[in-house]
Chains A and B, each alone.
Chain A
Amino acid sequence: MGMCVIINVMQAIEFKNVSFGYGDTDSRQEVLKNLTLTIKQGSFVALLGRNGSGKSTCARLINGLLTPNEGTVTVFGMDTRDKKNLFEIRKRAGMVFQNPDNQQIASIVEDDVAFGPENIGVPREEIKKRIDYALKATGTEEFRHSEVARLSGGQKQRVAIAGAIAICPDILILDESTSMLDPKGRKEVIEVVRALNRERGMTVIDITHYMDEAVEADEICIMGDGVILAQGSPSQIFAQRDIIMASGLELPVPARIADALKKEGLPLPDGILTKEELSKSLCELLQKI
């Protein structure tokens, strides 16, 4: 068994009738309205929605950076409102933020990755093993002794993921962690996260704007105005074009190309979402001609 393999099977995260707003009770702007959502252990969930739809608020409610005004959020059965649970919850739900420059503590990569394990009191020898593991899982071993400031955006963000997984969490939350990266950096990060999900059974919650990223997920949640508008597998979700449009989102590029081609009269099948599916159907079509 490798390091940090997750075994128990239960609901990882449960939102029950959660309402949340920033500000005082009387002048509160509701961001989440009576939201109920469960996320299964080991799943890869993409949380989509336009700016201000409450996605990031959801992320912060999970690890107790925020607590709900009404309703409950539980992580592996632990209520986030109970302050005694916070340490344990944060140990089990790691989070990577949007800006790579605002979540780094030490100057050198290995020291930064060590910060989390140090905080939870892991012995020195074990920390060394965890750094090895986290750097290997994120493909950043070669930067071990480098200055974080010298790395590219994608590399910095992978180091941030290493810092989060060195705590050995069961859940990894990406709060728009790829939004400040170029396509190459984005690909690097998503590949790492996908592998963590597949190979180590880590539950991943990816909050994103990018549809091609969402297509990779097992499940998609679309949020709008503080409620869940739709939830389901990528093919189920992208079949509901009206909801996609209504929530201000766009279909993935291959799906849009397929739509346009169909409009021009090409007999393509429904439900094309990825580049691979599009090229496969086009090849099949060519062979028929």
Chain B
Amino acid sequence: MLSDVTFGQYYQADSFVHKMDPRVKILLLIAYIVMVFVAKTFLGLFATLIFLLVTVVASKVPIGSVLKSIKAILFLVVFTAILNICFYSPKNGDTHLFWVVYTEGLISAGFLALRLVSLVMGSAVLTLTTTPVSLTDGIESLLKPLSLVKFPVHDLALIMSIALRSIPTLANETERIINAQKARGAEFDSGNIIKKAKALIPVLIPLLISAFRRGDELGDAMDARCYSGSKVRTKYKKLTLTFRDLVATLVVAIAITGVIMLNAYDAQIMLMLAKIWG
């Protein structure tokens, strides 16, 4: 069960978003983050959420998996919201509810929480639709310009790729060591948290030593396969932009423009909505 860690969040599906170029996906995620921060009003934020929902539908990833990503930062969201409510500095005309709580404070805390949640859900869409391997390829390709200033882009990419591929190996190894220690009477599931943490020491030390040994052998294997990290190196994998990526970029551009417009005309729109509802 430990070896399933490899596949992280990735949700296998055959969709428009899955087939996009990882570089474009990364850049569009950045654009989306900008969009979330550009939105100054609830209306704008709802618009970005609607955009996100459309993306999720297009990616064929169940909405539940995207929502699950919030769980990891739930504490952070609640914590910042509470801080925002408590330390809200009231202006003239704010409605005081009780203690230090103002209606406006509640609204701004809610806005912030919604913003955080939209950010995390957006990133989740990227990791759910892109394998770690193509994510690495995308990052390498995007960082390539940095090699002009002698930044070791290729080495970084190789390190990431080896790290990724070592996860299942080390996960198996951990399982083996845990079983070996259990066979000698070690207990991992009983006692308080300190006791449990201490029980892990006899797992971590052999794991660390074996990781070094493996690393040493891997170095030899790389040498044997002519690795020299030099400039003669070519690259087999090639990322290619498709029509799909152009469409996605256009959609995001329109969405950002929409959010900016909503910022500018927020008051008018609100007024209009108020009239419609009477």
Q: Which residue numbers of A lie inside 8 Å of B, CB to CB? A: 60, 63, 65, 87, 90-91, 94-95, 97, 99, 101-108, 110-111, 114-124, 127-128, 131, 147-149, 163-164, 167
Contact = CB atoms under 8 A, between A and B. Distances in A.
B238 to A, nearest CB: 7
What 10 pairs across the A-B complex have the smallest Cβ distances?
Answer: A103-B221, A121-B232, A149-B168, A114-B236, A102-B217, A95-B224, A116-B225, A119-B226, A107-B165, A127-B236
B3 interface: yes
Contacts of B234: 117-118, 121-124, 127
B184 interface: no
B222 interface: yes
A94 B221 CA distance: 10
Contact of B238 (A102, A124, A148): A124
Contact of A148 (B3, B132, B165, B224): B165
Query: Which of A104, A105, A116, A147 has the most CB atoms of chain B within a 10 A radius of its CB?
Result: A105
Contacts of A167: 225-226
Query: Which of A90, A94, A115 has the most CB atoms of chain B within a 10 A radius of its CB?
Result: A115
Contacts of B223: 65, 90
Contacts of B162: 105
Contacts of B132: 107
A97 B6 contact: no
A124 B221 contact: no
Interface string B218-257: 1011111111100011111110000000000000000000
B133 interface: yes
B232 A120 contact: yes
A163 B225 contact: yes
Given A107-B133, A108-B133, 11 more contacts: A65-B224, A94-B225, A97-B217, A102-B214, A103-B218, A104-B221, A114-B237, A117-B234, A127-B234, A164-B225, A167-B226
A149 B7 CA distance: 11
B161 interface: yes
A120 B226 contact: yes
A65 B223 CA distance: 8
Contact of A65 (B6, B220, B237): B220
B164 interface: yes
A194 to B, nearest CB: 22
Contacts of B226: 87, 90-91, 116, 119-120, 167
B169 interface: yes
B161 A121 contact: no
A13 B162 CA distance: 33
17 contacts: A65-B224, A87-B228, A90-B224, A90-B226, A95-B224, A102-B214, A107-B161, A107-B165, A110-B236, A111-B133, A115-B225, A116-B225, A119-B227, A119-B233, A147-B168, A148-B165, A149-B169
